[in-house]
Amino acid sequence: MRRSTFVRTAVAACSLSLLAALAPAASAQGGSQEGRHGKPAYKRVGYFTQWGVYGRDFQVKDIDTSGQAAALTHINYAFGNVSADGKCFTGNIPGEADAWADYVRPLDAENSVDGVADTSEQPLAGNFNQLRELKAKHPGLKVLISLGGWSWSTHFSDAARTPASRRAFVASCIDLYIKGNLPFDGARGGDGAAAGLFDGIDLDWEWPGSAGDTDTVHRPEDKKNFTALTHEFRTQLDAYGKSLKRPRHYELTAFVPTAPAKIDAGFEVPRIMRDFDFVNLQGYDFHVSGEKNTAQQSALRAARGDFSVDQTVRDWLRRGAPAHKLVVGMPFYGQGWTGVTGGGDGLDQSAAGPAPATWAAGYEDYEALRRLADSGTYTVHRDRRGGHAWLFDGTTLWTYDDPKVLRAKTSYIRHRGLGGAMFWSLDGDTADGELTAAVDDGLGRRH
């Protein structure tokens, strides 16, 4: 998963992390369930970025007005952080936590899902309160807290290292997010302030057993520790769910890598899949703008030895993952290069460096790329067999997914009996949710 680069100075660093529905109806403990009229219900998981409310001005309300909320089954809130002492925490610490965005920031009526302005007395405001309002408007929509990401996986290895540290880590995450016991911040927060908001936990440890961001700790024993950590989350979530007056199941999911070496270094696949409801496969950043040559970043299929969605799915299946628990990740952004030489359609050519862009060089939201495609300056190229697209103007190339590519991917998901689709991230879509709608149509509309 990624965090935008402008956020490292304002919030966190860009991910260079190197994707769906279903077998027959399965239990609530994992996999797909029957949808309306007995049809399979595919997962549609969209990541909402905490920091997107700032520069991009993408508010929770926009998930509703764009039509995305009606097409989603899950929203993953990115991200929760892990402290140096191995606990889930929040606060107002630049680059580490943003309680202001999470639950303190008041929203006016215009930017509120329910059209009512926040008051100074209410204990929950910010994104958390808006997500609560969104769930009330869209019953059945689930919200999970995602822990880690590229920038905030720093202390996962330490937190998972011993039975005692795992128990304390998991208990702290359940207390903060599932029980909703938020630290006081002025009039906001308090015991149970966010109770009932989060329907589960998504683990975005990048990566157990292998290198991630520059300051992220990793150890050979991470592989077995990740298995134990996953089971500890499953155990404590189940115990808490059963203790409630109305017992319930809390979901447990993860973001997992495409590279076989990273899978083998960090994941005991058959064992962890017993505890996960499903996992979101990395389906993007197969190649990134920091590389010297242009290349596809999210192809459905690629030549042997290259990364692709199909390669990722096959690698997880071969290692024992059930198909109906594999959800395919899809990018709502593109990777771009400039100074491309060699002519032709620009693909697989040398480049001078990452292309200039709105938020970070070499990274552009689909909404902006859609405007480039419509400008007449760029030509849209497609590899129909490979299932990917790119824009090229003779000098600058952007590799990205558009509705045609996503429809091919949803067809693949249905054909392979996978668990659904995941999107990074919702704020990259158009104002009318064009990409989300394309996936929803391809999987069979929810409504």
Please state, in angstroms and rounded to a whole number, the distance separating the CA atoms of residues 100 and 98: 5
Please state, in angstroms and rounded to a whole number, the distance separating the CA atoms of residues 33 and 356: 44
* Residues 111 and 122: beta-carbon distance below 8 Å: no
* Residues 50 and 98: beta-carbon distance below 8 Å: yes
356: number of Cβ within 10 Å: 11
Amino acid, single-letter form, for residue 334:
G
φ, ψ dihedrals at 390, nearest 5°: -155, 160
| 109 exposure class (CB count in 10 Å sphere: 0-12, 13-18, 19+) | exposed
Please state, in angstroms and rounded to a whole number, the distance separating the CA atoms of residues 257 and 267: 10
* Residues 207 and 197: beta-carbon distance below 8 Å: no
Q: Please identify which of the residues 206, 232, 364, 367 carries the catalytic annotation.
A: 206
Please state, in angstroms and rounded to a whole number, the distance separating the CA atoms of residues 51 and 11: 7
Residue-wise DSSP of 170-212: HHHHIIIIIS--EEEETTEEETTTTTTT--EEEEE-S-TTS--
Residue showing tokens 């192809």: 299
Is there a catalytic annotation at residue 110?
no
Cβ contacts of residue 430 below 8 Å, gap of 6+? 66, 366, 367, 370
* Residues 320 and 269: beta-carbon distance below 8 Å: yes
12: number of Cβ within 10 Å: 28
Please state, in angstroms and rounded to a whole number, the distance separating the CA atoms of residues 421 and 73: 10
Cβ contacts of residue 33 below 8 Å, gap of 6+? 25, 26, 41
Host H or E run for residue 143: strand 142-148
Distances (CA, A) of 59 to 7, 93, 134, 203: 17, 21, 11, 23
Q: Which are the catalytic amino acids?
A: 206
